[in-house]
Chain A
Amino acid sequence: MSTATPKLKATPREKTGTKYAQRLRKQGLLPVVVYGHKQDPAHIAISQEEFLHALHHGVHLLEVEHAGGSESCLIKEVQYDYLGTDVIHVDLTRVDLNEEIQVSVPLELFGEDECPGAKVEGAFIEQPFVDIEVICKANNIPDKIIVDISKLELGDAITIGDLKLPAGVTTEQNADDVVASVSVAKEVPEEEGAAAESAEPEVISERKDEGEGADKN
């Protein structure tokens, strides 16, 4: 469970749009929109440094303090730039602490060194999902879900149904979805590439009666 909810001071944004958002970012602020609970959306700006510190520590819930008072908000969406380095915009939703919400929580593998299946030559641990969507109360969001793979043999898999979720936490994801498995990678023959290089692809739009036309002339 995340220990304390970080408090962020917000200033209202009077003008919205790309130009004004870019000016905010140059000042070290982040454009944010707060919506939900059938209230009007609020356009605010928060400190980029404080928000990133919270985000990198796996925080889901924030306490936003602005002129209208303080409200608990859930990080709904974080937009990154094209290289995925800088956060450019954040969506927050208003939440009640006793309200049931759906959040994405990271899955952490435990016991990778002891896993007997992974010790086989050529075998590797496959993790199709790194996150799981869980339903829980806003004040009861788990930091991570542990996936114990210490007894996983080659060819075995752990599904969402096998996970031990903390009390008060449920998931609506398909119970048969695999979260971790041990398999052997298929070897790709290297000569195939050279052989295929000389071949030409089939052209869909090519006329089939080209040969007949040539005969007539």
Chain B
Amino acid sequence: MANMPKRVKFRKQMRRAKKSHVKASRGNYVAFGEYGIQSLEGGWLGARQIEAGRIAATHFLRREGKIFIRVFPDKPISKKPLETRMGKGKAETEYWAAVVRPGTILFEIAGVPEGLAKEALARIAHKMPFKCRMVQRRHGV
């Protein structure tokens, strides 16, 4: 299960300002499956949340179709333990997260009818910390 990178250049990262208002210019269309779930908000999506979404859809689909995960948690998020005095350096990594912007496609589903895909994506949406909506693949011109 890929829920964190195998190799990283640095153990810890700066948090950076959350640019939740910056729209997604990449990864904002359904590219692999037929239906997808699109985030309408921005923020951090934890590795456990991604995994929870994957499990919810897999259980519902019962091995039917194929699920594509379009986001990867490559940002280490550190957190100081409770009741600790400030200082003494940056805390250890608590979890890994994917940076999501409004418009990012989070999951895609292929090989199932629309009704089934809609229900599976709704189950994923319940596990997501953002407002989401279902989108369909667009045909080229």
Contact = CB atoms under 8 A, between A and B. Distances in A.
Interface in B1-37: 1, 3-11, 23-25, 28-29, 34
B66 A126 contact: yes
Interface residues of B, number: 40
Q: Which has the most chain A C-beta neighbours within 10 Å: B9, B28, B63?
A: B63
A94 interface: no
Contacts, number: 96
Nearest to B30: A84
B128 interface: no
B58 interface: yes
Contact of A202 (B7, B65, B139): B7
B9 A204 contact: yes
Contact of A82 (B8, B23, B55, B135): B23
B88 to A, nearest CB: 19
Chain B, interface SS category: loop
B66 A124 contact: yes
A187 B63 contact: yes
Nearest to B1: A193
Contacts of B103: 82-84
B121 interface: no
Nearest to A74: B141
Contacts of A17: none
B126 interface: no
A126 B68 CA distance: 13
B7 A104 contact: no
Q: Which has the most chain B C-beta neighbours within 10 Å: A58, A189, A190?
A: A190
A196 interface: yes
Contact of B139 (A106, A192, A204): A106
B141 A203 contact: no
B85 interface: no
A203 B4 contact: no
Interface in B67-107: 93, 102-103
A184 B93 CA distance: 38
B1 A196 contact: yes
A15 to B, nearest CB: 25
Contacts of B23: 82-83
Contacts of A127: 34, 110-111
B138 A84 contact: yes
Contacts of A192: 1
Contact of B24 (A77, A82, A201, A204): A82
B28 A84 contact: yes
Given A197-B4, A201-B8, A203-B9, 11 more contacts: A60-B141, A75-B141, A83-B103, A124-B64, A126-B110, A127-B110, A131-B140, A190-B55, A200-B93, A202-B7, A204-B8
9 contacts: A80-B138, A130-B139, A131-B140, A184-B63, A185-B111, A201-B7, A201-B8, A202-B7, A203-B10
